[in-house]
Structure 1
Amino acid sequence: MIRVFLEITLVVIVFWQFCRIQRFKSEMNHLCDELDSLLDGQKGFLLFRTNNEQVQRLTVSVNVFLERVYKKNAEFKIIKKELREMMVDLSHDLKTPLTTLSGYVQLLQLRLKEDPENIKSVEQILKKLKIKTEQTNRGIMQFLDIAKIQSGDMEISKHQIDINRLCKEVLMEYYDVLELNGIYVNVQIEDKASMIISDYNAICCILRNLIDNALKYGMDGKYLGLAVKESDDTISIEVTDHGQGIEKDEQEFIFERNYRAKAVRQKNNNGSGLGLSICSKLAEQLNAKLRVNSIPHEKTIFKLLLEKS
């Protein structure tokens, strides 16, 4: 009697295990079918009910993995779009200055052919050629800078630097273009040193972009102001122009990549809209603040606030 009972029990256990295995195989096959459909491009998650704890854990893990994949794919699409836009911007922004450079070279060749002794005329053309070459070079560097920032390749290395000396050195880089265009320069920088712990190259990059922006969009005002002001906790660098300015409702957007103010778009200015975006991203990495205050057709002030500590 006991033997018969044990045999029946064993048969029941074997049958139960067999049904469990079959159910598990069925669930796994169903999971595989859903995964295959997802791999074919149907975005979604595994929606599967089961009492099997291992299958539940596997489903959750797969869904977490899928969520990460979808997030990475979305990021890749954004980067791909930005890269495409950047290449379009680069080709567009280089076309005009390269055409201008080519024109200056042709004019130089013509003047030398007509009158090889006219050194003054040649020097004027060479001066314009030098300025345009430097502007083109800065434009290329903007694209390289924004690419480095977005990829995380731009490293911040903080050391003790003299802000007053840095600002004067950067401003001297623009001596030729300021003189050629008859721009009045108002410099408010003390002769004594103003020391701060920060990244020299990053601050230079921000200042160059702010000056480029002032010259590009504020040239009509024939004015450029550069001031360094110091308080107990901060040092501020201010770049001022008397150009067309920025409307109040647009000031919060100007630090976005590729954004150009309405007045700039109406004038068909060839700027890429990258300069201020670079400034904003670098300021963020320096734990600095970048602010703008503009009264259209009167004055525009960009202020970089650097903490001393």
Structure 2
Amino acid sequence: MIILCAALLLLLIFVSYRYYKIKKMVTADLPYITDKLDKIIENQSTERLLVMTEEKPLRELLVSINTLLDYHQEYIADGSRLRMSMNRMLSNVSHDLKTPLTVVLGYIETIQHDRHYTSEEREELLAKVNGKVIEVGNLISKFFDLARLESNDWPIEMQKINVNEVCRETILGYYDILNSKGFEVAIEIPEKDIFIHADRQALKRILENLLSNAIRYGKEGKVLGLALQQDENQVIIEVWDRGKGISEKNAHQIFERLYTLEDARSSSTEGSGLGLTIAKRLVERMNGSINFTSVPFKKTLFTVKFKS
């Protein structure tokens, strides 16, 4: 009987202790957690909830809350990065459209108000106007292409294609411009045919964008290369130049929408900054990868890889 009473007494003590601990949690810990959480959210703070407790359920709750806070902070950071990207994009869009349109208006005003031009000179000015209008049209077309890619509205028809043929066809399309700009061209395309499953037009567009980029920013080096190779697992396409390259501070932005090198806008061969973005999106749509390395005036290399 005495043993039974002792056992009941111990049980009562344990229940009382648990009751006290739970009461403390409810009356002290939970109000503190609620108040601290409200302040973290209100101030957009990076703080986390720290409560010393032996209660396993409360510890698990704190872990879950802190995980949600981490997700919340990442969501806020992503939103901030997106707003910055959009602001830069709008600024660049305005610049890229305004510049050629300003030139067009200048030519038109000259033609309208200056009566001293000969017919031949007027024809030359009109040809320049036409070139700028085409430039604006191409830019708008790129915007449209990027919008289609990001909304998954660009149809990709995966089929077996001959990569050698696409590479040769694309580089030949740039023969005249490379020749006129005095580029030395290094082409390494094997005689043995290499095949991958991809969209032919999309692959050609990728190569065109990479070659255009190499011509635009590699003009000081006067050398451009295109190489194709295959190993056991993948097909590798490389486009390289020996121009001014890409500095480390710009490397993380090179594939962003409408990003151009800082001094590109003072150049006579401005780029919209869309070409590399479109190339990256197309490569990813075809389950490939694209990356680059750059040593200014030595070698800037873009590498595209697809599974063989």
Q: Take 1:12 and 1:18, find their aligned partners in 2: how far apart are those partners?
A: 10
Matches of 2:130 and 2:191, distance apart in 1: 34
Please name the residue that 1:256 is paired with. Answer: 252
Question: Aligned residue for 1:33?
Answer: 31
Amino acid at match of 1:109: I
Q: When the two structures are superposed, what TM-score results if normalisation uses the length of structure 2?
A: 0.65
Query: Residue 24 and residue 171 in structure 1: after superposition, are their counterparts in 2 closer, same or farther (change >3 A)?
Result: same
Change beyond 3 A, Cα 1:134–1:18: same
**Corresponding residue for 1:183?**
181
In 2 relative to 1, CA 272–66 (structure 1 residues): closer, same or farther, beyond 3 Å? farther
Q: Report the AA paired with residue 124 of structure 1.
A: K
Q: Contact conserved, 1:218 with 1:243, CA < 8 A, in 2?
A: yes
Q: Indicate how the Cα distance of structure 1 residues 108 and 170 shifts in structure 2: closer, same or farther if over 3 A, else same.
A: farther
Give the alignment's Cα RMSD to 1 decimal: 5.0
Quote the offset at 1:236 in angstroms.
3.3
Matched, 1:80 2:79: yes
Change (3 A) 1:25 1:143: same
Determine the C-alpha separation between the residues in 1 that align with 2:197 and 2:100.
40
Partner deviation per Cα, 1:121-159 (whole Å, 9 max, x = no partner): 3233212321344246536766886xx4xx999999854
CA apart distance, 1:18: 6.2
CA distance in 1, matches of 2:5, 2:299: 98
The one-letter amino acid paired with 1:59 is: L
Task: Please say if residues 217 and 244 of structure 1, whose CA atoms lie closer than 8 Å, have aligned partners that are also in contact.
Answer: yes
In structure 1, distance between residues paired with 2:274 and 2:173? 20
CA deviation vs aligned residue, 1:228-274 (integer Å, no higher than 9, x gap) = 4234545433324353345xxx46x66412599xxx54676677878
Give the fraction of aligned pairs with identical amino acids, expressed as a percent.
21
Superposition deviation, residue 103 in structure 1:
1.6
CA contact 2:243–2:296 (8 Å) conserved in 1: no
C-alpha contact 1:256 1:276 (8 A) present in aligned 2: no
The equivalent of 1:44 in structure 2 is: 48
Compared with structure 1, are the counterparts of its residues 121 and 37 closer, same or farther at alpha carbon in structure 2 (3 Å cutoff)?
Answer: same
Q: Which secondary structure state, in structure 2, belongs to the residue aligned with residue 26 of structure 1?
A: helix
In the aligned structure 2, how far is the partner of 1:277 from the partner of 1:127?
24
Q: Which residue of 2 aligns with 1:24?
A: 22
Query: Does structure 1 conserve the Cα–Cα contact (< 8 Å) formed by 2:288 and 2:304?
Result: no
Distance in 2 between the 1:268 and 1:132 partners? 15
Structure 1 spans left out of the alignment, 5+ residues: 51-55
| CA distance in 1 between partners of 2:175 and 2:69 (Å) | 51
Question: What is the number of equivalent residue pairs in this alignment?
Answer: 285
- CA 1:211 to 1:92, structure 2 compared with 1: closer, same or farther past 3 Å? farther
Instruction: Work out whether residues 190 and 229 of structure 2, in 8 Å CA contact, stay in contact via their aligned partners in 1.
Output: no
Kept in 1, the 8 Å contact 2:288–2:305? The answer is no
CA shift digits 1:36-68 (9 cap, x unpaired): 122222432242334xxxxx2321221221221
1:182-217 CA distance string (max 9 Å, x none): 435648468996421246576456434423432332
